Every structure is written in structure tokens, then in C-alpha cells.
Structure 1
Amino acid sequence: MFRSLVFKSPRGTQSLGTQKNGLPFFDADQFSNLLIKEGFSPAQSRTVIHALDDVVNESIITTSSDLVTKDDQQKTIQGFKQNFSRLKSEIQQKERRDVDEIKTMNDQLKSEIAKLRKSLQQEIVRSQAGVRLDLNLEKGRIRDESINQHKRLEKTDQKMEEEIKALRGQMRGIKLQILQYLMGTITGGGTLVLGYIHFAS
């Protein structure tokens, strides 16, 4: 049975280190001595060393595969810069196109507004001219109606005067007839009175 590994290495002694290229390395001999000091047999220590060596090698391979060289890093950065520059250029071109389109639409809108304003002014002028014409026609109609009304009133006044004159003539004729009747009556009555007096005397 393997005993639990407890690293009680002497002061200043280490089993794991770092190579000059920055990758970790495993000191198998030193670690084997530590295992033997802890009570492992040489065969057991070799077995443990082989297992740890496989683990360390696999870790080194995995770590190395994840690392990139400086040239690859520079190429990647350069690619990012190129992509960023291309994207920036495309964005700027799109912004310029958008600005040009907005400017064109704004100019078209201004032109349409100017046309609409001109058309509205012309319509207002035509409407005002039509209103003036209608007012003038209405004034003329009212004036003509007033003249006709005045003429009808004059005719009515003239007719009334003529009828009044005719009534006055009729009244004078009636008065004359009444006077003639009264004169005849008085004359007849006087004759009767004189005859009565003559016969009575």
C-alpha cells in the first residue's frame, strides 16, 4: 500500500521548478529520494515517479499546445487591426452614405414644402379673388335690389296719391250731391210752407 504523500522536503529543496523557456519541469531523482525517505521502497518510488512523470508530461504538452508564439500573436493582432480598420472604413462609408441620403431627403423635403407653400399661396389668392368677386356681385345685387325697391316704393306712393286724389274727387262729388239734395229739399219745403200760408190766408 502507498502511504499518503506529505511533502516534507528539506529546506531549500524543491521537486518542481521552471525551465528557462518558462515551462515547468519535474526533478524525478530528487522526488524519488523524498519518497524513499518517507518510507517508500525504490520500486514504489519509481512507480509513483513514472505516474507523476506521465501527468507532468501531459500537462506540459497541454500547456504548450495552448501557448502561441510571438509571431503568431503578432499575426493575430495584425489581423485584428486589419479587420478593425476595414470595419471602421465600412462604418465611415456607411455613415457618409447615410448622411448623403439624409441630406438628399432633406433637400427633397424642402423642395416639396416650397412647392406646397407656393400652391397654398396660389389657392389662397384664388380664394380671396373668388370671395371678392362674390362680395362685389352681392353688393351689386343688393344695390340693384335697393333701386328696384325704391322704384316700387315710388310707384306705390304715386298710386296712393292718385287714389287719394280720386277719393277727394269722389268726396267733393258726394258733397255736391248732398248740397244739391239739401237745396232741393229746402226749396221744396219752402214752397210747401208758402203754399200753406197762401191757402191759410
Structure 2
Amino acid sequence: MFGRRCIRSFHTSPLNLSIKGPNFNTQRFVDDITRDGKFTEEQAKVAANIIANSINDGIELYASNLITREVLNKMSYKQKVDFAKLKGELQMIDKSDFNSIKNENERLRSELEKMRIKFKEEINKSLSSVRLDLSLEKGRIREESSIYDLKIKETDTRINQEIYNLKVQIDSVKTTVLQWLFGVCAGTFSLVLAYARLVS
């Protein structure tokens, strides 16, 4: 998808230059350290040779890491050219990457739009199905409610009829009981009168 990244490495090779350091006066050094008698002349010469060799080695090592101004300018110019070339290549790569990203973005946007339309259609279809189910359920509930209302009315009518019949029976029983009580009372009264006559 993205372009290949180009990486350049730059390096410099150390130049060995023949540079001489200041001369080390070994005889003066020997005279100085043998003057107080702590070193013999032979020991002083050995020490002077060691120090002189160390100084020369240090100077040569330092000189091996130095480069001339002309070489430095050439290297700087070469690096500038390489950097300019690398910058151009990176700009081309960035432009190619930008175009690739732009095309990929357009493709993803198109796919997202298709998915959005598809999801919207699926949602509308599901909503239509749910509305139909709700409508059917409402119709079924309404029908069942009508049946229940009819049954309740029939039950109320039957209960009212039973209550009426019960009232009629109660009234009939009341009448019978009253008649019986009246008969009993009349008979009792007749017996009392008859008993009273007999006694008198």
C-alpha cells in the first residue's frame, strides 16, 4: 500500500596525515630527574624514551583522526547533494503514499456508504415486520378482549338471574313461613280460648 522507504547511510573514512609534534628534549629530561640523585642516568634515559614514545604515539593517533578543510568541504557538499536527492525521493514517496491513502479513504468511504444503506434497509425491513406483528397482536388481543367481555356479560346476566330466582324463592319461603306462623298462632289462640272456656 505504501511506498518503499529509502534510507541512505553516510560515513567518512579517517585520513592518515603526516603531522609532526614538537621535539621532546630527552637530554634535558634526563638531566632534570638525575639532578636530585633519585634516578641513575640509565634509568632516566629509559624513562625519557618511554615518555617520548608515548607522546609520539599520542600525536600520531590524534593526527590520524584529523581531516583537511578541503576534504571536509567535499564531504559536506557530497552530503548536501545526497540529502537533496533523498529529500526528492522522500517527497515522491510521500506523494505516492498520499495518493494511496486518498484512494484507500475513498474506497472505505464508498464501502461505509453501502453498508449504511444496507443497514438502513435491514432496519426498515425489521421495523415493518415488527409493526405487522404488533398489528396482528393488537387484533388478537382486541378479539380476545371482545370474547372476554361477552363472557363477562353472560356471567353477569346469569348471576343477576340467579339472584332474582333466589329472591323469588326467598319471598316464597317468607310467604309460606308467614302463613304457617299465622296458622300456628291462630290454632294456638283457638286452643287457648277453648281451654279458657273449659276452665271457666
TM range (shorter): 0.5 to 0.7
Q: Which residue of 1 aligns with 2:171?
A: 157
Q: Which residue, 98, 107, 117 being the options, matches 1:93?
A: 107
Residues 185-200 of structure 1 aligned to structure 2 (within 5 Å) = 185-186=199-200
Structure 2 stretches of 5 or more lacking a match? 1-65
What displacement does 1:99 show? 1.3
Query: What is the aligned length?
Result: 136
Residues 1-201 of structure 1 aligned to structure 2 (within 5 Å) = 54-67=68-81, 77-186=91-200
What's the C-alpha RMSD, in Å, of the aligned pairs?
3.0
CA distance in 2, matches of 1:183, 1:158: 37
Greater shift in the superposed pair: 91-100 or 126-135 = 126-135
- Post-superposition Cα deviations, 1:92-136, rounded to whole Å, max 9, x if no partner, equal 011110111122112212221222232223223323332332232
CA distance in 1, matches of 2:67, 2:170: 143
Amino-acid identity (%): 12
- Post-superposition Cα deviations, 1:159-189, rounded to whole Å, max 9, x if no partner, equal 1101111111122222222233333334xxx
Greater shift in the superposed pair: 94-103 or 125-134 = 125-134
Give the letter for the 1:142 counterpart.
Answer: D
Compare CA radii of gyration and give the structure with the larger one: 1
CA distance in 1, matches of 2:144, 2:80: 89
CA distance in 1, matches of 2:113, 2:122: 14
- Post-superposition Cα deviations, 1:51-77, rounded to whole Å, max 9, x if no partner, equal x98322333233223325999876664
CA distance in 1, matches of 2:98, 2:198: 144
Relative CO higher for 1 or 2, CA cutoff 8 Å, sep ≥ 6? 2
Q: TM-score scaled by structure 2? A: 0.56
CA distance in 1, matches of 2:129, 2:192: 92
Q: Residues 73, 175 of structure 1: CA spacing in aligned structure 2 closer, same or farther, 3 A cutoff? A: closer
SS in 1 for 2:68: helix
Q: Which residue of 1 aligns with 2:52?
A: none
Greater shift in the superposed pair: 91-100 or 121-130 = 121-130
Q: Which residue of 1 aligns with 2:31?
A: none
Give the letter for the 1:166 counterpart.
Answer: W
CA distance in 2, matches of 1:76, 1:185: 152
CA distance in 2, matches of 1:69, 1:160: 127
- Post-superposition Cα deviations, 1:7-64, rounded to whole Å, max 9, x if no partner, equal xxxxxxxxxxxxxxxxxxxxxxxxxxxxxxxxxxxxxxxxxxxxx9832233323322
Q: Residues 90, 179 of structure 1: CA spacing in aligned structure 2 closer, same or farther, 3 A cutoff? A: same
